[in-house]
Amino acid sequence: MSMSMPRAASKQQTIPLRSRALRITGIYAIVATLWIYFSDQVLFAVFPDAADFTRWSVVKGLAFVALTSLLLLWLMWRAFGAIEKSHAALRRSGSDLRELNVSLEKNVADRTRELEAALIRARAADALKSAFLATMSHELRTPLNSIIGFTGIIQQGLAGPINDEQRKQLGMVRNSARHLLDLINDVLDLSKIEAGELRLSLASFDVRETIERISGLVRPMADKKGLTLELQIDGALDTMHSDRRRIEQIILNLLGNAIKFTESGQITLIAEREPAFRKEADQEPVEALRLLIRDTGIGIRPDDMTGLFQPFNQVDSGLTRQHEGTGLGLAICRRMAERLGGTISVESEWKKGSEFSAILPLEWHETTGN
C-alpha cells in the first residue's frame, strides 16, 4: 500500500507501534498466566506443607513483581526516551520553522520598504521632472523673448535706420532664435509626452478640410522648389473625432519632411478610409484614417531606418548637416500618433523616395486607451 499524503504517512507509522504494544502485552499475559500456573505446581511439589507453600508463594509473587517492574521500567525507559527525542526534534524543527518564518517576514518587510522607497523616489523624480520642465520652459523663453523682440524692433527700423547688411544679419539672428525656440518647444513637447502630461483636446472635425488647409500651408515651400504636391482624398472620409491640432501637427511634419528631402519630382498625399485597423493583434478592429505621404526624394538608407523615430536621430547629423530641423519631429509624430491610438511607419528606397504611412482611428476617446 502506498500513500503519498503526509497525514497518511504519519498514521502508517503509528499502526505498527500500537500493534507492537498489543503483541508485547499479549506475550506478557500468556507468559504470566503460564508462570502463575506452572510455578504454583512446581512450588506445591517442593513445599507440600500449606504454611511453607504460602510463604514461598509470597516470595515468588514478590520476585515476579520485581521482575515485571524491571521489565516495565525498561520498556517505558525506551519508549519515553524515544518520545522525548522526537519531541526535542520537533521542538528544534519548530524553532527552525519559526526562525525561517521570522527571516522570511523580515525579508518581505525589507523588500516592501525598499519598493515603497523606490516608488516615493520615482514619484518625487516625476514631480521634479514636471517642475523642471515648467522652469526650463519659462527660463529659456524669457531671454528668447528679448532676443526675438529686440531683433524685430531693430529690423523694423523702430530704433533707427539700418543698412541692408545689418538687416540681413539681424535676419540671421532672428532665424537662429526662432530655431532655438522650435527646439525648446519640441523638447518640451516630447518631454510632456514622455511625462504623460500631453493633454488631448478631443473634438469632431472635417478630415478633408483639415488636410487641405495643412497642405495649403506647405504648398508655397513645394512651389519654391518646383515640386508638385498632389492630394488624393477618399470621398468616403468626412468627420473624425480626435485631437485636430495634434493630427495637423503630424500631417504638417510629414509633408514638411517630404518637401525638405525632395529636390525634384512630386509629393503625393493619399488619405483613405481603413475599415478595420488593429493597433494590437488582440484589439477590436476600428475604422481609421490612413495617410500615405509619398515623395521622390533622397530616401533613407536601410541602416538609418531603425533609429528614424528616435529623438535627435537625424539621418544627416553632425557638421555635414544640410537640412534644418530639430531632429525631434518624427519622434514627436510617432508618440502623438500612438497617443491617439494610431501608428506611423515608413518604407523607403535609397535615392528613390520614401513613403510614410500614418494610421489614426476615426473615433478616439481618452477612455479607449491610455
Partner 1 sequence: MSLKILLIEDNEQNRYLLSFLLEQAGHQVVAAVDGPAGIARARTLQPDIILLDIQLPTMHGYDVATALRSINALAGTPIVAVTSYAMPGDREKALSAGCDGYMEKPIDPENFVHQIEQFSHASGSGHDGVLP
> Residue numbers of the site for partner 1 (CB under 8 A)?
130, 133-134, 137-138, 141-153, 156, 158-159, 181, 185, 188, 192, 197-199
Question: Quick one: 133 or 237, whose CB is closer to partner 1?
Answer: 133
Q: Which is nearer to partner 1, 138 or 224 (CB)?
A: 138
CB of 179 to partner 1, least distance (A): 13
Kindly tell me which of 188 and 231 has the beta carbon lying closer to partner 1.
188
CB of 361 to partner 1, least distance (A): 22
Nearer to partner 1, 148 or 305 (CB): 148
- How far is the C-alpha of 103 from the C-alpha of 235, rounded, in Å? 70
Q: Least distance to partner 1 from the beta carbon of 171, Å?
A: 13
E-assigned strand segments in the chain: 203-206, 228-233, 239-242, 266-277, 286-294, 343-349, 353-361
Say how far residue 179 (Cα) sits from the centre of its chain: 36
**142/322 with CB nearer partner 1:** 142
Distance CA 263, CA 15 (A): 97
CA distances in angstroms from 131 to 8, 134, 135, 291, listed in the order given: 65, 5, 6, 36
Largest CA distance in the chain: 162
Distances (CA, A) of 141 to 135, 144, 185: 10, 5, 10
Judge contact between 365 and 241, C-beta under 8 A.
yes
Cβ-based nearer residue to partner 1, 144 or 305: 144
146-177: b (≥16 Cβ within 10 Å) or e: ebbeebeebbeeeeeeeeeeeeeebeeebeeb
Minimum gap (Å) between residue 123 Cβ and partner 1: 18
Q: Which CB sits closer to partner 1, 149 or 171?
A: 149
Q: Output 39 or 130, the one with its CB closest to partner 1.
A: 130
Give the three cell numbers for residue 310. Answer: 528616435
Residues 347 and 354 sit within 8 Å (Cβ to Cβ): yes
Cβ at position 173, least distance to partner 1 in Å = 13
Q: How far is the CB of 149 from partner 1 (least distance, A)?
A: 4
Residue 267: CB minimum distance to partner 1, A: 29
> Tell me, what DSSP letter sits at residue 275?
E
Distance of closest approach, residue 271 Cβ to partner 1, in angstroms: 28
Do 246 and 210 contact (CB within 8 A), yes or no? no
Candidates 361, 306, 366, 301; CA nearest to 330 is 306
Contacts of 185-193 with CB under 8 Å at 24 or more apart are: 186/326, 186/328, 186/329, 186/332, 187/326, 187/328, 188/133, 188/136, 188/137, 189/328, 189/332, 190/311, 190/328, 190/331, 190/332, 190/335, 191/129, 191/133, 192/133, 193/332, 193/335, 193/336, 193/339
Q: How far is the CB of 350 from partner 1 (least distance, A)?
A: 39
Task: Between 157 and 285, name the residue whose CB sits nearer to partner 1.
Answer: 157
